[in-house]
Each structure stands twice: as structure tokens, then as C-alpha cells.
């Protein structure tokens, strides 16, 4: 089977940096994605890592270590609007479908 | 460009009734996904279509659930008969290819009484 683990909650203050970790166990691994979901909203794509290393997109960066089955999402210069749930998702199998983690609720305090 | 369009946005119905959820993917996207989201089970993939053909339906919970994609611009997820435990938010997503990001619709909030 497969499993993904990420913290259920993280709290930080505006302007800070926060890292959300994700560890996974799965067969047929192709890559790790991150999605953001605001309360009551649709999940939206943030980043995808297929290879080891860091991918940077503005204030957000994502990292993958395939040998450690580990990745993280790094959010810099936190803003109130970053308060949301963040999901890691592994892309796996011949059909390369996504399996989502249970999500991390990020609360940004003023 | 219009995003993924789902209807209805909200549905409240009594158990035993048939429920049909609809999805229009983004034009040009050839992969379509149906997900269910609940507090207990998180975001689960129900079924995945590629070029209108079901590729993986292993996430469909039971025979009461069925999904179709008669053409590239329309898909339905049907529950018959519905049960209270089917209450959830159902999302449809599409992507331009297997390894491309998925674009989610706003979801259908389903309540079965």
C-alpha cells in the first residue's frame, strides 16, 4: 500500500518562514506535488518535484529527496492569505494518478 | 479561460434518491478525475479518465457509484441509491496530460439526509 505523513497543524506569524514536511511510502513513485486549499475552496496546484532538489516559485519552494522518501514545502514571507490547508500528493503507478496526504492546516497570525 | 465547471454547487436530498453530479473539464484537457473529500478520509480519488476512457476506478466505493464520460467536454458521477455516508464534497479535476498539474472545480457539496 501507500502512505503519506504530514503534520496536521502548523502556526506561524506574518513575515516568518515555515516548512511543511511530508514523508511517503509508496511503490511506483514518480514525483511529489503540493496543493493549497482555502476553507470551502478548490485545491490549487503549487509545485511538483520529480527529481531530487529544490524548486522555487516566488515565495514558495519545494524540495524532494527520493532516497529519503521525503519532501517539504517552504513558505517565506508569510502573509495572512497563506492561511490554508496544504496537501502533499504522490504521483504513482502506471496511470500516474495522485494520492493525497491528509493535509496540514497552516494558520498565519498577525 | 473558464476553469473546471461543476454542477450543482450544493445538493441536499433524502437517502435512497439518485444523485447526479456533473463536470465540464477545461477545453483541451484529456485527463479527468473525480475526488471525494471528507474530514475522516481526506481527499480520495474515485475514478480517472484519460481520453474519455476510464483508466482506474479502484477508488469507487461500491456499485452504487458510477461515472461516465460520453465526450471530451462532459462527465457525470452518479450515486444510486444515495446513503447518508455519501455526504461529502465531490471535486472534479482535469489536466492536459498524465504528468501535468490538475485543475480542480469548486466542488459539489452533497448532503444526504
Burial A63-95 (b: 16+ CB within 10 A, else e): bbeeeebebbbebeebeeebbbbbbbbbbbbee
A54 vs B60: CA distance, rounded Å: 35
B101 vs A45: CA distance, rounded Å: 6
Check pLDDT > 80 for residue B80: yes
Check pLDDT > 90 for residue A41: yes
Check pLDDT > 70 for residue B50: yes
Question: Within an 8 Å CB–CB cutoff, is residue A43 touching chain B?
Answer: yes
**C-alpha distance from A23 to closest chain B C-alpha (Å):** 17
Q: Provide the pLDDT for residue B1.
A: 64
Q: Provide the pLDDT for residue A63.
A: 98
A52 vs A11: CA distance, rounded Å: 27
Check pLDDT > 90 for residue B5: yes
Q: Which of A53-57, B5-9, B98-102 has the lowest mean pLDDT?
A: B98-102
Sort B75 into a burial class: Cβ within 10 Å, 0-12 / 13-18 / 19+. Answer: buried
| Mean pLDDT, residues B61-70 | 94
**C-alpha distance from A15 to closest chain B C-alpha (Å):** 28
Q: Provide the pLDDT for residue B75.
A: 98
| Mean pLDDT, residues B26-54 | 94
Amino acid at each position: 500500500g501507500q502512505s503519506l505523513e504530514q503534520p496536521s497543524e502548523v502556526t506561524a506569524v506574518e513575515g516568518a518562514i515555515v516548512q511543511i514536511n511530508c514523508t511517503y511510502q509508496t511503490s511506483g513513485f514518480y514525483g511529489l506535488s503540493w496543493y493549497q486549499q482555502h476553507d470551502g475552496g478548490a485545491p490549487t496546484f503549487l509545485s511538483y518535484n520529480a527529481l531530487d532538489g529544490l524548486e522555487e516559485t516566488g515565495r514558495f519552494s519545494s524540495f524532494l529527496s527520493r532516497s529519503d522518501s521525503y519532501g517539504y514545502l517552504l513558505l517565506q514571507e508569510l502573509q495572512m492569505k497563506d492561511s490554508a490547508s496544504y496537501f502533499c500528493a504522490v504521483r504513482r503507478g502506471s496511470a500516474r494518478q495522485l494520492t493525497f496526504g491528509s493535509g496540514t492546516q497552516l494558520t498565519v497570525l498577525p | 479561460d473558464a476553469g473546471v465547471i461543476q454542477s450543482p454547487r450544493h445538493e441536499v436530498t433524502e437517502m435512497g434518491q439518485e444523485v447526479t453530479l456533473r463536470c465540464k473539464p477545461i477545453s483541451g484537457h484529456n485527463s479527468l478525475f473525480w475526488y471525494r473529500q471528507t474530514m475522516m478520509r481526506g481527499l480520495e480519488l474515485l475514478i480517472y479518465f484519460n481520453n474519455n476512457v476510464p483508466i482506474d476506478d479502484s477508488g469507487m466505493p461500491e456499485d452504487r457509484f458510477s461515472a461516465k464520460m460520453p465526450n471530451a467536454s462532459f462527465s457525470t458521477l452518479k450515486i444510486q441509491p444515495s446513503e447518508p455516508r455519501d455526504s461529502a464534497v465531490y471535486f472534479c479535476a482535469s489536466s492536459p496530460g498524465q504528468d501535468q498539474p490538475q485543475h480542480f472545480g469548486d466542488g459539489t457539496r452533497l448532503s444526504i439526509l
